């Protein structure tokens, strides 16, 4: 398999030529994120990604993590790569200066995080969890807690986790059993066991800061009785000094299908000392700061896998000789033609390409909305941005990871039998990516969050907000007649999107099962329309560049922009049409799912 290459050019196209990130950064006071500085940062990130992380990806999968007597040892080279990451200042990139950060925008760090994941999914999970821990403490921690933990977390000296899941409750957090008992001195005694804790134990850092949900003795039942605590592996002094070992231990690590070099831990809290974050019984609200960041990050993992699958498949398809092209010999000096000339290989490659580029545009758009929420002084802009982000976050997480299952499968398929062999890297990519549809909330949970909480819960206002943006854009390009067909298609899909929503909610008023029955198809429909909107914008931008005819100040050359137009055509002709079957499925209702008695689900 060809070595991973950070997609710098495509990221810069979306940032500066499509979404105006250069102006966005300037408007929010990020003078150090000038276009020249962004390119310089990208260049260094690409070197680290390509030369440090990618070379230890396969070996890390082969070796995996080792657990012995509560201690986890990561594969060869992983700890050293983390130290290079710390020495390069990458953990502090987007964090506040008061804690030793560089105060660069969230979006810039997230773009680079995609590259880390594409090069080495397992390794990227270790620092990825720390960022969610930091965001939670920044948003909800006390001044004392920030002083104790953030400087060391920002530097990368310490790492962080999120400890939510328990074996009996999974995503139903209201059933959690972990207890928090007041000690009388402002601390709490935390007792319980958490499972599936990514980066819960490892040899990268000298301390691990766990963000833990637990229940106080007099807490209400269900999710209304969840509180949030910071529980370090080693207790911390008032200025971040590492003190004595806390009663936190790794009981085991999981033996998994993929991401084998990422330690997925069982963490036991045996009367460990913890400290309340926020207020009692409001932990779920605080936790969503972490969860929403994690959902966006997981969506980026899906995009990263699609990028890596495309890179590997494209390289192989250009070199692999099999059969002659039916339209005529393309490689007269060889015994056969490269398989990229066969229509079905083109179908797979173009599907990967169309999804990787459309989804990157969608992802960076969402990152821009995060920036607005974090940094804007315009309260109306923040409200609008946060509303759109609330709608798009479950779509981003689920659609990008579900389509990654397709694109990584195509990566294997393009290689044929070699795709099933470890040395080519495609089967590892498919295995590693499979988890992305499951953690941070399965696709079904994201779908019901979208339809029930975000759409129905806002009386359709969040959906109207985003549809209005799309329709206004379609109206703004009416004079560009060559795009009328695509613009009209997106416009009609928006009308249909609103109509479908109304139909489902009307049926759900009589039968609440209708929401769950339609939700996943609804989310996937939403994803295809949203990505279609961004493909329309990219096509218009590409045509404008071609019409101008001067590429001296552009990201790409004419071939780059012509490729955008060809890929847009493929998306509208081949992928957006998938919405037809999704509509049919949604229209069929809940009865075909729910009317069959459970006894009819029999074996044999």
Quote the DSSP letter at residue 98: G
Res 181 pLDDT > 80 = yes
Quote the DSSP letter at residue 74: P
Structure pTM? 0.96
pLDDT-based confidence at residue 529 (cuts at 50, 70, 90):
very high
Q: What is the pLDDT of residue 493?
A: 98
Quote the DSSP letter at residue 448: H
Phi and psi based region of residue 565 (left: phi greater than 0; alpha: psi -120 to 50; beta: remaining): alpha
**Residue of 220 and 506 predicted with greater confidence:** 506
Strand duo 242-245 + 234-236: pairing: antiparallel
Res 472 pLDDT > 70 = yes
Tell me the per-residue pLDDT of 309-341, one tens digit each, with 9 for 90 and over: 999 999 999 999 999 999 999 999 999 999 999
Q: What is the mean pLDDT of the chain?
A: 96
Residue with tokens 């040892």: 73
**Residue among 7, 18, 23, 8 nearest 561 (CA):** 18
Say which of 17, 166, 307, 440 is annotated catalytic.
440
| Distance, CA of 178 to CA of 426 (rounded, Å) | 40
Tell me the per-residue pLDDT of 187-202, one tens digit each, with 9 for 90 and over: 999 999 999 999 999 9
Mean pLDDT of 498-504: 98
Res 284 pLDDT > 90 = no
Tell me the per-residue pLDDT of 384-417, one tens digit each, with 9 for 90 and over: 999 999 999 999 999 999 999 999 999 999 999 9
Res 172 pLDDT > 90 = no
Q: Look at 42-46, 125-129, 257-261, 485-489 and tell me which has the smallest mean pLDDT.
A: 125-129
pLDDT-based confidence at residue 292 (cuts at 50, 70, 90):
confident
- 19 exposure class (CB count in 10 Å sphere: 0-12, 13-18, 19+): buried
Count CB neighbours of 339 within 10 A: 23
Percent of the chain at pLDDT > 90 equals 93
Phi, psi dihedrals of residue 93, rounded to the nearest 5°: -50, -50
Mean pLDDT of 540-557: 95
Res 170 pLDDT > 80 = no
Res 298 pLDDT > 80 = yes
Tell me the per-residue pLDDT of 213-238, one tens digit each, with 9 for 90 and over: 999 999 988 888 999 999 999 999 99
| Distance, CA of 526 to CA of 447 (rounded, Å) | 10
Q: What is the pLDDT of residue 1?
A: 57
Q: What is the pLDDT of residue 427?
A: 97
Q: What is the pLDDT of residue 231?
A: 98
Contact 415, 313 (CB under 8 A): yes
Count CB neighbours of 244 within 10 A: 7
Q: What is the pLDDT of residue 175?
A: 80
Res 212 pLDDT > 60 = yes
| Distance, CA of 14 to CA of 21 (rounded, Å) | 8
- Residue 440 annotated in active site: yes
What does R_g of the chain's alpha carbons equal in angstroms? 24
Q: Which two tokens stand for residue 365?
A: 């758009």
Q: What is the pLDDT of residue 602?
A: 86
């Amino acid at each position: 398999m060809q070595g991973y290459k950070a997609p710098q050019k495509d990221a810069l196209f979306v940032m500066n030529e499509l979404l105006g990130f250069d102006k966005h950064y300037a408007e929010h006071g990020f003078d150090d994120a000038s276009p020249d500085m962004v390119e310089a940062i990208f260049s260094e990130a690409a070197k680290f990604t390509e030369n440090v992380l990618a070379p230890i990806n396969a070996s890390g999968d082969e070796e995996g993590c080792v657990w012995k007597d509560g201690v986890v040892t990561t594969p060869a080279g992983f700890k050293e790569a983390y130290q290079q990451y710390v020495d390069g200042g990458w953990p502090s990139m987007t964090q506040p200066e008061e804690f030793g950060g560089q105060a660069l925008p969230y979006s810039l760090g997230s773009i680079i995080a995609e590259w880390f994941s594409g090069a080495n999914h397992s390794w990227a999970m270790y620092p990825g969890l720390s960022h969610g821990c930091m965001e939670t403490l920044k948003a909800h921690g006390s001044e004392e807690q920030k002083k104790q933990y953030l400087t060391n977390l920002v530097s990368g000296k310490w790492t962080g986790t999120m400890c939510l899941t328990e074996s009996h409750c999974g995503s139903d957090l209201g059933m959690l059993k972990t207890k928090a008992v007041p000690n009388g001195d402002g601390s709490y005694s935390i007792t319980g066991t958490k499972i599936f804790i990514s980066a819960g134990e490892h040899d990268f850092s000298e301390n691990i800061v766990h963000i833990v949900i637990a229940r106080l003795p007099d807490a209400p039942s269900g999710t209304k009785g969840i509180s949030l605590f910071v529980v370090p592996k080693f207790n911390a002094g008032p200025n971040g000094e590492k003190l004595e070992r806390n009663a936190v231990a790794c009981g085991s690590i999981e033996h998994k299908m993929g991401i084998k070099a990422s330690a997925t831990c069982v963490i036991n809290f045996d009367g460990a000392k913890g400290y309340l974050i926020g207020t009692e019984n409001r932990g779920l609200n605080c936790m969503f700061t972490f969860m929403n960041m994690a959902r966006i990050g997981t969506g980026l993992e899906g995009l990263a896998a699609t990028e890596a699958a495309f890179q590997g498949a494209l390289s192989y398809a250009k070199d692999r000789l099999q059969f002659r092209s039916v339209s005529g010999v393309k490689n007269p000096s060889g015994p056969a033609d490269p398989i990229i000339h066969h229509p079905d290989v083109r179908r797979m490659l173009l599907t990967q390409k169309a999804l990787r580029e459309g989804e990157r545009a969608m992802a960076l758009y969402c990152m821009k909305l995060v920036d607005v929420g974090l940094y804007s002084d315009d309260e109306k802009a923040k409200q609008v941005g946060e509303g759109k982000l609330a709608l798009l976050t479950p779509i981003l997480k689920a659609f990008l990871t579900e389509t990654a299952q397709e694109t990584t499968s195509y990566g294997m398929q393009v290689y044929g039998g070699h795709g099933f062999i470890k040395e080519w890297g495609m089967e590892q990519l498919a295995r590693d990516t499979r988890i992305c549809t499951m953690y941070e909330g399965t696709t079904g949970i994201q779908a019901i969050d979208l339809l029930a909480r975000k759409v129905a819960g806002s009386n359709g206002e969040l959906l109207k907000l985003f549809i209005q943006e799309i329709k206004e854009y379609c109206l703004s390009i009416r004079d560009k007649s060559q795009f009328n067909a695509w613009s009209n298609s997106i416009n009609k899909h928006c009308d249909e999107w609103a109509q479908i929503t109304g139909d489902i909610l009307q049926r759900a008023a009589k039968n609440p099962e209708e929401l769950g029955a339609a939700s996943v198809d609804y989310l996937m429909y939403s994803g295809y329309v949203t990505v279609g909107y961004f493909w329309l914008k990219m096509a218009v931008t590409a045509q404008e560049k071609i019409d101008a005819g001067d590429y001296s100040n552009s990201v790409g050359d004419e071939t780059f922009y012509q490729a955008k137009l060809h890929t847009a055509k493929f998306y509208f002709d081949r992928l957006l049409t998938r919405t037809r079957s999704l509509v049919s499925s949604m229209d069929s209702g809940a009865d075909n799912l729910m009317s069959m008695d459970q006894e009819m689900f029999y074996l044999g």
